[in-house]
């Protein structure tokens, strides 16, 4: 392979960053000596620093429609200084495409589509446009990312999402705060938007049922701004459930998942972190397609009600079945309990 120094655009959300590493894994399997540098947002940097398929990280702290010309100019200079011979974009955002174009990277690769089927003029900034022909909603997103790599490098095979493994004193502290000898069951109760967030009452039903069946301790994980919502969910459970929201970094969270018995979660970035650890897990899908976003984990069970109106991008109040959207309320507590029992008893 003629390329030795690759810049990868990873200015996307956490789940996409993790799924994108499957494509980098595929590159490394075929070209182990290549250097891969990822361009990332600060909030997801821990997913790529010390990642086994990433050699270096450039952190770009910007806000859409706010960042200054000075920031862009400084980043162009930094990218140019590193003398990349290839850049790969796993989305079609203007900012990273413009950065690599202005930095004069000689080969700039991007997809014809990746998140939707809408045509984009951003592709004129690429030297090579990879034509994606499959149905996005019926194909694992990780496979879409890998298809970009397969076509450009003319290689075959599949990669696996990768995540750093580091010593975590915080994970030790939180796990050691749980009672020894009990099953450890983690919950993630809040999605990034309302049509991903399963009912508080449903979560309470699941926890009560599992508490009756198993000698277990429960705790909730999530971002700092999930803490108050998690407290509201816990208040309806009538048993002791700890709230660890905001207490962990991304790598802390991964180490916690490696040391628990079960994770019950909505469709969110934490689900994809958990999948890399192969923890037993149940994932609840709402308006997003399971075929596209399910965690890549042989120990995972993913549940959806397969509504005809899904996937959708509407606001919750625009949903015909609001305030109890069918896509979420038809995934019942009984289904989640059954999946949890299947995993725990095996």
Same fold, 5-153 and 169-345: yes
**Residues 120/132, Cβ–Cβ less than 8 Å:** no
pLDDT tens track for 72-122: 899 999 999 999 999 999 999 899 999 999 999 999 999 999 998 888 999
Res 238: pLDDT: 86
Res 318: pLDDT: 87
171 vs 207: CA distance, rounded Å: 22
Residue-range domain boundaries for the chain: 5-153, 169-345
The number of residues making up the chain comes to 346
Per-residue CA distances from 38 to 53, 90, 117, 147, 152 (Å): 10, 11, 25, 18, 18
251-290 core/surface letters (b: 16 or more CB in 10 A; e: else)? bbbbbbbbebbbbbbbbbbbbbbbbbbebbbbbbbbbbbb
Please check the confidence at residue 286 and state whether its pLDDT lies above 90: yes
> Residue 33's CB: how many other CB atoms inside 10 A?
7
Res 65: pLDDT: 61
**Residues 116/312, Cβ–Cβ less than 8 Å:** no
What is the chain's mean pLDDT, rounded? 95
The bridge status of strand 183-188 relative to strand 128-130 is unpaired
254 vs 65: CA distance, rounded Å: 33
pTM of the model: 0.94
The CATH fold of domain 169-345 = Rossmann fold (3.40.50)
Domain 5-153 -> CATH class: alpha beta
15 vs 28: CA distance, rounded Å: 20
């Amino acid at each position: 392979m003629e390329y030795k120094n690759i810049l990868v655009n990873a200015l996307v959300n956490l789940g996409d960053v993790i799924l994108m590493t499957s494509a980098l894994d595929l590159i490394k399997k075929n070209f182990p000596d290549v250097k891969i540098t990822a361009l990332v947002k600060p909030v997801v940097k821990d997913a790529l620093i010390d990642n086994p398929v990433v050699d270096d990280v450039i952190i770009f702290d910007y806000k859409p429609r706010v960042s200054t010309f000075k920031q862009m100019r400084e980043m162009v200079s930094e990218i140019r200084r590193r003398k990349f011979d290839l850049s790969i974009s796993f989305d079609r955002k203007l900012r990273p495409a413009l950065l690599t174009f202005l930095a004069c990277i000689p080969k700039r690769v991007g997809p014809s589509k990746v998140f939707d089927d809408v045509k984009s003029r951003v592709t004129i900034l690429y030297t090579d446009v990879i034509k994606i022909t499959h149905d996005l909603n019926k194909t694992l997103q990780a496979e879409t990312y890998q298809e970009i790599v397969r076509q450009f490098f003319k290689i075959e095979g599949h990669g696996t999402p990768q995540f750093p493994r580091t010593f975590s004193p915080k994970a030790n502290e939180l796990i050691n705060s749980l009672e020894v000898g009990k099953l450890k069951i983690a919950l993630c109760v809040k999605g990034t938007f309302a049509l991903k967030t399963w009912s508080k009452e449903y979560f309470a039903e699941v926890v009560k049922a599992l508490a009756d069946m198993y000698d277990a301790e429960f705790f909730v994980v999530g971002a700092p701004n999930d803490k108050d919502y998690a407290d509201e969910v816990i208040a309806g459970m009538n048993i002791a459930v700890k709230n660890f929201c905001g207490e962990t970094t991304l790598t802390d969270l991964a180490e916690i998942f490696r040391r628990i018995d079960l994770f019950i979660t909505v469709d969110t970035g934490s689900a994809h972190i958990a999948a890399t650890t192969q923890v037993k897990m149940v994932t609840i899908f709402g308006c997003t397609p399971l075929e596209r976003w399910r965690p890549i984990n042989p120990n995972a069970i993913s549940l959806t009600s397969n509504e005809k109106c899904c996937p959708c991008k509407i606001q919750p109040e625009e949903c015909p079945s609001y305030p109890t959207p069918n896509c979420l309320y038809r995934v019942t507590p009984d289904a989640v309990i059954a999946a949890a029992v299947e995993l725990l008893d095996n």
